[in-house]
Amino acid sequence: MERTASEPLLSCQGVDKYFGALAAVRDMTFDVFPGEALGIGGPNGAGKTTLFDVISGLNPATAGSITFDGRTITRATPDRTCQLGMARTFQLNAGFDTLSARENTLIAAYFGRHNRLVPGMRFDRETQRLADEAMEFVGLDEVAHEATQTLPVYHRKLLMVAGALATQPKMLLMDEPVGGLNPQEIDDVMALVRRLKERGLTIMLIEHVMRFLVRLSDRVLIMHHGEKIFEGSASGLVYDKTVVDVYLGEGSSRRLRHLLEDQPSPDEGAPGAP
Amino acid sequence: MFETGPNWRRDAAFGVVLIAVMIAIPFLGPSRYFIGQLTLFFIWATVVSQWNLVFGVAGIFSLAQMAIFAFGGFATGMMGLYLGISLWFALVLAGVGSILFSIIIGLACLRLRGPYVALLTLAIAQVMYLLIITDTACFYMEGVTCRNFTGGTRGLAKFGDFGFREMLGRREYLKGDYYLSLFLLVLATVFSFAIIRSPLGFAFRALRDNPEYGVSRGLNRFKYQLLVFAMSAFFTGLAGGVFAGHFRVIGANVLSLPLLLFLISMMVVGGLGRAWGPILGAALVMLADEGMKDFVEIRNMGYGALIVAIVVLLPQGAAGGLEQVWEWGRRQVLALWGGTGRLAARRGAAGEERRE
Ligand SMILES: Nc1ncnc2c1ncn2[C@@H]1O[C@H](COP(=O)(O)OP(=O)(O)OP(=O)(O)O)[C@@H](O)[C@H]1O
Ligand SMILES: [Mg+2]
């Protein structure tokens, strides 16, 4: 990977987020390079979701600076960061519940790509094409006309990805994309993320399911109490004493080590047991 | 909805038939009372059609609609009275002024959510009400009579009308107001249909369903909230002006709570956020009101019961209920048609789940 040669797509420098006295994110500094997948792990309440909120503009940073694609976005609103090419999914199932699945994606395709000063009278062809493409890519074309609120959890997770893709992002932030899914569904989402990487999309993903995280991430970043306690390769993770102590525990780090040894390349091979 | 091909044609057909019937009614020799009630129906349905954009489609619990209506009415009357301009000209200016007035209210509501918006907008209407009925200062003298700037408790009058009395005579002038209000309702309804089914309508509904997710998909909440306040104000202000010109008087009573409830019940009965809701709701509630006219004691209870019944039994409102009947009927017909029916029926079933 010619990481050193290219500029980072996203760069966070000394980012803090305080809720009153609570430092939910503290002094986070890291880069994400084009085409890379950066995995974020850490215990509950570590500040992973808050980090996404800060980057995407939903909840602006208290201090520090964030640049994306050559622009400073530290104070940018979420609609703006979306239009600049950063799309995110949510930990909980978010969506426009009373609209159909396709309408959800149409809205993202129409408003998420660039600023609509004066919206038109109808969704143009290009918007419809992008929305249908995104629905097909994640495999939701069959349920496109169902009401969003009636969809099962798995479909709702995929719908968030479809909406994100329809905005034609450069970078995708996924917050626990497989939380609450069964092993088969986890494997399917894993295959989907691989296809996204093949398309050259830069990805940041938060996940507690470690086999998902280590298999898909080129690099891993572990947070604890708002701070970065580890940044490096997935294989280094299991040998890091702090990470094993505060997050993985002995048992799970041993299992993970086996998983990594069995499949030396994190980008191929059949998925094993969690 | 984007698959509006058949729906647009169906709705246009309904619309044309309804308009034709309404145009014909005055020629069938109805009573003056009937014409007067239909005129009021057009005016209320206009207001509800615009309120529905804010309250039903965008999901902002604003109760400011009657304040905007009053603004339009008083602005029309005052400009007619104090500036001596034609009421037609005053009406258009008042409509534009209503947009500004509504944007200010929208700005005040921006940081508030849910019930707080209702409280604030209700307070604005109440302040207007109190300012008018406590207005006792002499603004000008008419002979020996002292007149207030707002008309005070007596109401603002003597600003004239739209000239139909002069044009059509004392017996026929009501028809002028009738057609004017009908015209207003048609414009307002076409406007609201166009909004509801355009990307803008989807933006409003998206932000209603999930504001956080909406902004993360490129929607600017500030912009669209102000837009819906602005867009829903023009025809509401015009309706206020037409109301004033029709009755040749406008008073603080248009800001009263019972009238507000009367109009809310129209919106709820018709079906929140639904394109046909306001017209259906206004018609049903006015019919119910007509039926309860002789039982003054139970009238308010009657509304209450009606709202409760609709909310419990038919939460999608009359328009939602009719939509379901329509889809059911369509599926039956298509099933009879044969092979292609099954596919179409599946699409119909999906359509039924969705809101307008
Ligand atoms: N809006 C808020 N106001 C106050 N405190 C908040 C807010 N959002 C998050 N927090 C706090 O910030 C800390 C980090 O929360 P966050 O949701 O980012 O954790 P997380 O790493 O995503 O956890 P999980 O794995 O459970 O999703 C928690 O202590 C949480 O209570
Ligand atoms: Mg989280």
Please indicate, yes or no, whether residues B300 and B164 belong to a single structural domain of this protein: no
Asked if the structure places residue B245 within a domain, the reply is yes
Measured torsion, CA atoms of residues B148, B154, B155, B160, in degrees rounded to the nearest 10: -90
In whole angstroms, give the CA distance from residue A74 to residue B125: 40
| Residue B229 covered by a domain | yes
Distance CA B291, CA B309 (A): 17
Angle at A191 between CA A185 and CA A193, to 5 degrees: 105
**Residues forming a β-bridge with B157:** B249
At B145 the pLDDT is: 80
Q: Which residue from A minimizes the CA distance to B196?
A: A121
pLDDT of residue A261: 75
By the 8 A CB rule, do A160 and A89 touch? yes
Tell whether B187 and B203 lie within a shared domain.
Answer: yes
pTM for the model: 0.89
> Given this model, what pLDDT does residue A112 score?
97
A233-264 pLDDT, tens per residue? 888 887 787 887 888 877 777 788 777 776 55
B160 and B179 share a domain? yes
Q: Are B219 and B302 in contact (CB under 8 A)?
A: no
Domain at A1-85+170-274: CATH code: 3.40.50.300
How do residues A9-51 score in pLDDT, each as one tens digit?
999 999 999 999 999 999 999 999 999 999 999 999 999 999 9
- Pair B226, B82 in one domain: yes
* Cβ-based neighbour number of residue A255 at 10 Å: 17
- Name the residue at shortest CA distance from atom 28 of ligand 1: A45
Q: What is the dihedral of CA A59, A62, A64, A69, to 10 degrees?
A: 20
pLDDT tens, residue by residue, B305-337: 877 888 888 888 888 888 888 888 888 888 887
User: For chain A, what is the total number of helices (H) and then of strands (E)?
Assistant: 10, 10
Secondary structure (3-state) at B205: helix
Q: Report which of B182, B160, B9 is spatially closest to residue B91, judged by C-alpha positions.
A: B160
Which parts of A3-84 fold into alpha helices (H)? 48-56, 78-84
**Where does a domain end: B255, B280, B308?**
B255
Mean pLDDT of B255-273: 91
pLDDT tens digit string along B183-211?
999 999 999 999 999 999 999 999 999 99
Q: How far off is chain A from B137, nearest CA to CA, in Å? A: 46
Distance CA B256, CA B63 (A): 12
Residue B3: is its pLDDT beyond 50? no
User: Does one domain contain both B86 and B195?
Assistant: yes
Q: Cα(B296)–Cα(B152) distance, rounded to whole angstroms?
A: 27
Chain A partners within 8 Å of B206 (Cβ) = 96, 99, 104, 107
Dihedral sign, CA of B56, B58, B61, B66? negative
Quickly tell me which residue has 């009908």 as its tokens.
B182
Output B129 or A270, whichever has higher pLDDT. Answer: B129
DSSP secondary structure code for residue B28 in this structure:
G
User: Can you give the residue range of the structural domain that contains B202?
Assistant: 21-255
Cβ neighbours of residue B111 under 8 Å, at least 6 residues apart? Answer: none
The reply to whether B242 and B264 lie within a common domain is no
List chain A domain ranges: 1-85+170-274, 96-168
Residues B276 and B248 in one domain: no
CB A108 within 8 A of CB A86: no
- The count of other CB atoms within 10 Å of the CB of residue B13 is 10
Q: Are B213 and A90 a contacting pair at CB < 8 A?
A: yes
Give B271-291 pLDDT, tens digit per residue. Answer: 998 999 999 999 999 988 888
B5 is a domain residue: no
Q: Which residue of B has its CA nearest to A55?
A: B216
Other CB atoms closer than 10 Å to residue B235's CB: what's the count?
26
Structural domain contains residue B16: no
Digit-coded pLDDT (tens) for B10-69:
889 999 999 999 999 999 988 999 999 999 999 999 999 999 999 999 999 999 999 999
Contact A146 B2 (CB under 8 A): no
Name the strand (E) or helix (H) holding B95: helix B87-109
Mean pLDDT of chain A, nearest integer: 90
- Distance, CA of B23 to CA of B190 (rounded, Å): 17
* Predicted pLDDT of residue A5: 57
pLDDT of residue B301: 76
- The number of domains in chain B is 2
CA distance A268 to A194: 9
In a domain, B54, yes or no: yes
Asked if residue B240 and residue B307 are part of one domain, the reply reads no
Residues B139 and B272 in one domain: no
Helix (H) or strand (E) holding B146: strand B145-147
> Is B199:A110 a contact under the CB 8 Å cutoff?
yes
Contact B77, B262 (CB under 8 A): no
Mean pLDDT of B66-91: 95
Q: How many CB atoms sit inside 10 A of residue A11's CB?
A: 17
In the block, tokens 């995407």 appear at A56
Q: From the CA atom positions of chain A, what is the Rg in Å?
A: 18
Are A111 and B194 a contacting pair at CB < 8 A?
Answer: no
* Residues B317 and B222 occupy one common structural domain: no
Out of B255, B286, B305, pick the residue that ends a domain: B255
What is chain A's length?
Answer: 274
Contact of B236 with B46, CB cutoff 8 Å: yes
* Residues B246/B252, Cβ–Cβ less than 8 Å: no
CA–CA distance, A78 with A102 (Å, rounded to integer) = 22
Do residues B66 and B259 touch, judged by C-beta distance below 8 A? yes
Closest in A100, A107, A150 to B206, CB measured: A107
Place of tokens 């009927």: B329
pLDDT on residue B146: 80
- Ligand nearest A43 Cα, by number? 1
Contact B200 A119 (CB under 8 A): yes
Collect all residues from A whose CB is shorter than 8 A from any CB in B. Answer: 56, 58, 77-79, 82-83, 87-88, 90, 94-100, 102-104, 106-108, 110-113, 115-116, 119-123, 128, 145-147, 150, 163, 167
Q: Are residues B63 and B134 in the same domain?
A: yes
Nearest in space to B307 (alpha carbons), one of B294, B291, B292, B288: B288
- Domain co-membership, B231 together with B297: no
Which of B210, B238, B255 terminates a domain? The answer is: B255
Give the span between the Cα atoms of B23 and B12, in whole angstroms.
Answer: 16
Q: What is the DSSP letter of B275?
A: S
- pLDDT tens readout for residues A110-135: 999 999 988 988 999 999 999 999 99
- Cβ partners under 8 Å of residue B145, min gap 6: none
Q: Do A107 and B355 touch (CB under 8 A)?
A: no
Q: Please tell me the distance in Å from A94's CA to the nearest CA on chain B.
A: 6
B163 pLDDT band (50/70/90 cuts)? Answer: confident
B131 close to B150: Cβ distance less than 8 angstroms: yes
Q: Are A79 and B215 in contact (CB under 8 A)?
A: yes
